[in-house]
Amino acid sequence: MIRSAFLQNKKWRLWLFPLITLLLLAAIYWQNQESLNNPDSISYTYIRNALQGKLGYGAVGFYGNMIDLSDLEPGDIILGGYPQCAYGRFSHVGLYAGDGQVIEGYVDLGITRQPVEHYWSYSEVCLLKIKAPSEHKQAAVNYAENHLGQLFYPVAFKPGERIWNCTKIVWEAYRQQGIDLSTRKDIWISPDEFYENPHGQVIREISLP
Amino acid sequence: MTTIILRLYFIHIFGWLAVWLAMHYPGLDLVLAIMYLLIISAEIRSLRRYAKGVSCSSFLIWQAPGIVFSLISSIPWSWWGLKEYSFFLLQFWYTPMVPLLSLLHWTIAGHPLYYYLLLGMPLLLAILFALLVRNREPVPRSSRIRYI
């Protein structure tokens, strides 16, 4: 009865979502004032880059970095990026699962398993080893595998285990093992954070001009 | 007709923002996604009192971005990543549905089920529209002309 009366009210139908939007904006800002006021936060980085004309992944193509992938172990992280990328140096992350396979997220594939060789297409590539016992790394891989097929949304917030992006699935997989790969206390997480994180150790990297 | 279209866009864009922000509070996004569906259904139902041409045109113009992004995403080839960016935009456009789609974990022929549902979302909404506007609004008994 109440629901039906509410739905029949044209004014309510029009103004409900603007009202909720304002309340949510206020709540998120109040909870994350520190990060949202920080000029180095991911939100400001995206806005700054967009103003410089850097949008999305950047100049996508096959750059053929041919980085040596032979000594990757399950739980290692692979970062990839194209020139003019809006998110920083890297735009994509994958979690090496062993047997030449990497677990990663794509908008049209969701959380998926793909051959690792496609990282040769990036102009920026970095292999990272996480300083953790191998059982923790395997547990991180298992966590990511348990989420195969789940939904990818590019601007997924940190909380929740239903909506992912390529960075969040790797971050959460390690966070479940007590390893936080996010250096900034931001509402989002970006691939560059993994590169800067003290838990990570660069195995090798290539930056093509 | 302009008012109807503006109203649909206004509700959709703020529904988009509200549902996206609600993803920061997992669970609330699902509540708002259901609320969006109920509100949009009520809006579509209210179109019954207009002529068929007006209600159909309003629906098509409201769904035009979704239809265009879905068509570009469905073509078998891609120029300069146009197809990939188009699917991104398709998903953004249907953000109010994303929390509900996130409940589906099945994969079919290499793509998750949500991929197919997003591609077909303009069609699914068109079916919803057709079902909701099918019956014309009944004329109240008191206003019927009585022939004596």
Q: What is the pLDDT of residues A92-122, one digit of tens each?
A: 999 999 999 999 999 999 999 999 999 999 9
- Rounded Cα gap, residues A187 and A32, in angstroms: 7
What is the model's pLDDT at position A2? Answer: 52
How many domains is chain A built from? 2
Q: How far apart are CA A154 and CA A55, in angstroms?
A: 13
* Residues A164-168: contacts with CB under 8 Å, at least 24 apart: A164/A105, A164/A110, A164/A111, A165/A105, A166/A92, A166/A93, A166/A94, A166/A104, A166/A105, A166/A106, A166/A191, A167/A93, A167/A191, A167/A193, A167/A194, A168/A105
- A95 and A21 share a domain? no
Put simply, whether B66 touches A (Cβ < 8 Å) is no
- Specify if B13 maps to a domain: yes
Is residue A60 a contact partner of residue A118, using CB atoms and an 8 Å limit?
no
Q: Which of A10, A17, A149 sits opposite B106 (nearest CB)?
A: A149
Residue A96 · residue A125 · CB < 8 Å: no
B105 lies in some domain? yes
Asked if B112 lies within 8 A of A159 by C-beta distance, the reply is: no
Residue A71 lies in a domain: no
Low-confidence ranges of chain A (pLDDT < 50): none
Please indicate, yes or no, whether residues A136 and A179 belong to a single structural domain of this protein: yes
Number of domains in chain B: 1
Does residue A59 fall inside a structural domain? no
With beta carbons less than 8 A apart as the criterion, state whether A181 and A128 touch. Answer: no
**Which domain, by its residues, includes A140?**
77-207
Q: Would you tell me how many other CB atoms lie within 10 Å of the CB of residue B43?
A: 21
Query: Could you tell me if A47 and A81 lie in one domain?
Result: no
Please check whether residues A117 and A19 belong to one and the same domain: no
Find, in chain B, the residue whose alpha carbon is nearest to that of A113: B110
pLDDT value at residue A85: 85
Residues A47 and A83 in one domain: no
Instruction: Report how far residue B2's alpha carbon sits from residue A24's, in angstroms, rounded to the nearest whole number.
Output: 30
Quote the DSSP letter at residue B147.
P
Chain A contacts of B101, Cβ < 8 Å? 151
pLDDT at B145: 57
Q: Global pTM?
A: 0.90
Q: Does residue B93 have a pLDDT over 90?
A: yes
Residue B53 touches chain A, beta carbons under 8 Å: no
* Residue-number span of the structural domain to which B88 is assigned: 2-133
Residues A20 and A123 in one domain: no
For A44, residues 6+ apart whose C-beta sits below 8 A from its C-beta are: A38
Task: Quick: pLDDT tens for B1-45.
Answer: 788 899 999 999 999 999 999 999 999 999 999 999 999 999 999
Burial, A197: exposed, middle or buried (Cβ in 10 Å; 0-12, 13-18, 19+)? Answer: buried
Say yes or no to pLDDT of B147 above 60.
no
% pLDDT > 90, chain B: 68
Torsion of CA B28, B30, B35, B36, to 10 degrees: 110
Same domain, A9 and A92: no
A81 plus A31 within the same structural domain: no
Is-contact A147 A109, C-beta < 8 A?
no
3-state secondary structure of A98: strand
Any domain includes A107? yes
Whole-angstrom Cα distance, residue B42 to residue B36? Answer: 10
- Domain end, chosen from A35, A51, A67, is at A51
Q: Please report the ipTM that was assigned to this predicted complex.
A: 0.90
At B55-92, the pLDDT tens digits run 899 999 999 999 999 999 998 877 777 888 899 999 99
